[in-house]
Amino acid sequence: MKNKFLTQAAMIAALYVVLTYVANMLGLSSGVIQVRFSEALTILPYFTPAAIPGLFVGCLLSNILAGGILLDVIGGSLITLAAAFVSYALRKHKLLVCLPPIIGNTIGVPFILRYGYGIVEDSIPYMMLTVGAGEVISCGILGILLLLALSKQRNAIFGEQ
């Protein structure tokens, strides 16, 4: 059981890093509205608790490899970790599991951008709007589509939880 948990967490972390890298290559993870394919994976706590450390480690590695500053690496990863815990707690409500990462990133990331990267203070509401839009696309739309697709093969992919 422990090996299955570690394997699932490692696979989720690796997939998160790869999907973040692909979005970076396509220029989708920067700009006004950022669409990161890896954020669709934030629905995985619905299927397995191994997604909690998997998403955290994947986000941490992605932020480090992308050259993020310390506040971005730690803050962004902690937002992902907290959202994963809350998503796991909401797993009885299938379509709500995408809300914690959307809300957490919409509120938290603009402050990281402001205080970590020195972006103009008055831009926080604007960044909340644009980060939120990207999260709705990544987590809300792509994430729910992924959740619905994986639901059909839940036991084959994740085993019985």
What are 98's two structure tokens?
């995408």
Q: Is residue 119 part of a domain?
A: yes
The per-residue DSSP string of 10-49 comes to HHHHHHHHHHHHHHHHTT-SSSSS---GGGGGGGGGGT-T
Q: Is residue 159 part of a domain?
A: no
Q: Is residue 160 part of a domain?
A: no
The CATH number of residue 84's host domain is 1.10.1760
pLDDT band at 30 (very low <50, low <70, confident <90, very high): low
What pLDDT does 161 receive? 61
Q: How many CB atoms lie within 10 A of CB 123?
A: 13
The per-residue DSSP string of 55-109 comes to HHHHHHHHHHHTT--HHHHHHHHHHHHHHHHHHHHTTTSGGGTTHHHHHHHHHHH
For residue range 72-131, what is the model confidence (pLDDT) as tens digits? 999 999 999 999 999 999 999 999 999 999 999 999 999 998 888 888 778 899 999 999
Domain tally for the chain?
Answer: 1
Give the domain range for residue 108.
Answer: 1-154
